[in-house]
Structure 1
Amino acid sequence: MSIPVIDIGPLVTGGTGRAGVAAAIGEACRANGFFYVTGHGVDEDLQARLEQQSREFFAQDTGTKMKIRMALGGRAWRGYFPVGDELTSGEPDRKEGLYFGAELPPDDRPLHGPNLFPSDEFRRTVLGYMAAQTQVGHALMRGIALSLDLDESYFAERYTADPLILFRIFNYPPGGDEAWGVGEHTDYGLLTILKQDGNGGLQVKSNANWIDAPPIPGSFVCNIGDMLDRLTGGRYRSTPHRVIGTRATDRLSWPFFFDPGFDADVRAVGQRVLSGEPRWDGADVHEYEGTYGEYLVAKVSKVFPRLLGPAGLEKT
């Protein structure tokens, strides 16, 4: 399996050539669900500031980082968590991280509310980066709509007029050759747009084999999630992936999740495509009934089981 590199400039600018880009995206989604994107238009200086400020934050002592711990964010699911606090498939990940989402006023619904930032400078950088990646997400969904022979506004009109935006910054501490950063999993929503540092570690599953998805300068790695698998009736499958920890140095990554609105009832476009290959976890996203918010909250409750119950919340 090879992971293609696709210039999405025409989708970002609205210029000619969108049909060709959409066809390339469709081919990648049918083949393996992963592709690199260039021509995205996200400012390089903004990315450099994000990387510098992220490294400065994680270089601090644990006590300082815990001043914005996730428990203080309550059900909004925002803030810092230390190594081992996040679970994938029930196993602790070997990473620490910062969780952000759309900057919203306090709300009783899970995954809604204000962010926790270590500084005003970090706040400006993160919010600017999320705004830029939101535009990339809209552009990619226009391409995916065209790849399915739909109007390019199909998803925006039905599912992503007000997308659920989540953004993570992860730091993987050094470890041995086979030190797990994150175990095998698929993502929950529509699209993940991933910025990596230069250390590598991301691997994609192809049949029974794992292949590397190394960083390519100027690009992001994009992969489809469970809801796009569901929307396309299995034509575009969410592909399992994992992270192997690096041996000698920290690894940073910045995954941005572009998902359906919280209250969206995600339904398949056309008929389901049957596949003889079961999912890695035995689940079937096509059998799910409910909104995307309900699906996501059920997943979050397994990732951070202590945070969504009343006993896990703290007062600021």
Structure 2
Amino acid sequence: MHKTIIPIIDFQQIDNPEHQVTIARQIYHACTEHGFFYVSGHDVDDELQGELMEKSKLFFALVESEKLKIAMAKGGSAWRGFFPVNAELTSGKPDKKEGLYFGTELPDDHPKVNAGIPLHGRNLFPDYPPGFDQTVLAYVDAVTETAQLVMKGIALSLGLPANYFYSKYTSDPLILFRIFHYPTQAPKPAQWGVGEHTDYGLLTVLLQDSVGGLQVKSKGEWIDAPPIPGTFICNIGDMLDKMTGGLYRSTPHRVLNTSGQSRLSFPLFFDPGFDSKIEAITNIPDNIREQDTSQRWDKTNIHAFEGTYGEYLLQKIGKVFPGLRKEVL
């Protein structure tokens, strides 16, 4: 098994009161020390994960003209579909990856779609491989349930009721699911697979293949976050950082794939509802909210933001795909 200082937390007994205190303490330690932790004891089927990986390999092996049949430009404001290598930017620099954007599948007559709310609508699925759509949607549903359990543990770790985040933010979460393919790179590239960044929302639940390449900036030092069989790796997003006044800090991370093999990763971004007003958690002392923005990757102070999660997210994504900005903003 790969070694890492990022802790592994077993969530199998998260609903058992006899185990909740121990799990909550482990989460608190992980979130204050690293902003990352591995989740074991989840219920996401191994066979479903394997099926997702195999079908993703088949899709990315297609010639680019086939993949572009579901280009993101065709997804409109739902922000779904395929993008090629160098099309996504981090801090203004192209990433060495290609990928697929998915989300909660909503019909055209859904009220949020009718209202024209960005990031809501139908997915764009390829014709090949067959059944990719069913596999993706089944996986999204399964991992969303896991994310709800993890957020229950995070609530307990903060001394809050277990349903705190569900009742305020995630009864109807914004689910953004990505499948990324990273070609192999030279050891000292001028370009990262994905550059240093933090995630925008509450929680990211990441499945990695066996290749590795994820690096986490823990206490100012870059450390590896290798794949560990049977686990997901989770990290805090900007909104949880803001809610906790920086007690749980959203941690920068990046990807460099020098393995000599292609790498696949499957992040599910479990975020507050689009219209959720982001508020500070009142039982956390308001004495750590000041932040040295010069040290943050994007030079911004997330604690200065006031508004809904949708407003925050739309500010960010236009910088990731500037060519598609008018389709969403």
2:144 equivalent among 134, 158, 173: 134
Partner of 1:297: 314
1:10 equivalent among 2, 10, 13: 13
- The 5 Å alignment of 1:1-316 reads 2-11=5-14, 16-106=18-108, 107=113, 108-119=116-127, 121-179=131-189, 180-270=192-282, 271-272=285-286, 273-274=288-289, 277=292, 278-310=295-327
Q: 2 CA distance for matches of 1:56 and 1:251?
A: 13
Comparing 188-197 and 200-209, the one that deviates more = 200-209
Alpha-carbon distance change, 221 to 149 in structure 1, aligned in 2, over 3 angstroms: same
Q: 2 CA distance for matches of 1:36 and 1:254?
A: 15
Alpha-carbon distance change, 168 to 292 in structure 1, aligned in 2, over 3 angstroms: same
Identity fraction in percent:
57
Alpha carbons 2:185, 2:256 under 8 Å: kept: no
Note the residue ranges of structure 2 that are not aligned, 5 or more in a row. none
SS in 2 for 1:17: helix
Alpha carbons 1:74, 1:308 under 8 Å: kept: no
Alpha carbons 1:178, 1:244 under 8 Å: kept: no
Alpha carbons 2:289, 2:303 under 8 Å: kept: no
Cα distance, 1:207 vs. partner?
Answer: 3.3
Alpha carbons 1:186, 1:238 under 8 Å: kept: yes
Cα distance, 1:14 vs. partner?
Answer: 5.0
Q: 2 CA distance for matches of 1:104 and 1:129?
A: 16
Alpha-carbon distance change, 63 to 276 in structure 1, aligned in 2, over 3 angstroms: closer
TM-score, L = length of structure 2: 0.91
SS in 1 for 2:323: coil
Cα distance, 1:15 vs. partner?
Answer: 6.3
CA deviation profile, 1:210-245 (whole Å, cap 9, x unmatched):
110011111111000000001111110000000012
Q: 1 CA distance for matches of 2:149 and 2:167?
A: 14
Cα distance, 1:209 vs. partner?
Answer: 2.0
The alignment yields a C-alpha RMSD, in angstroms, of: 1.7
SS in 2 for 1:9: coil
Q: 2 CA distance for matches of 1:302 and 1:233?
A: 25
TM-score, L = length of structure 1: 0.95
SS in 2 for 1:307: helix
CA deviation profile, 1:43-70 (whole Å, cap 9, x unmatched):
0000000000000000000000000110
Alpha carbons 2:6, 2:37 under 8 Å: kept: yes
CA deviation profile, 1:102-129 (whole Å, cap 9, x unmatched):
0012321111110011145011100000
Q: 1 CA distance for matches of 2:237 and 2:140?
A: 19
Q: 2 CA distance for matches of 1:178 and 1:14?
A: 47
Alpha carbons 1:104, 1:112 under 8 Å: kept: yes
Q: Specify the code of the residue in structure 1 equivalent to 2:280.
A: A
SS in 1 for 2:324: coil
Q: 1 CA distance for matches of 2:163 and 2:24?
A: 13
SS in 2 for 1:98: strand
CA deviation profile, 1:270-308 (whole Å, cap 9, x unmatched):
243246654232211110011000111111100011213
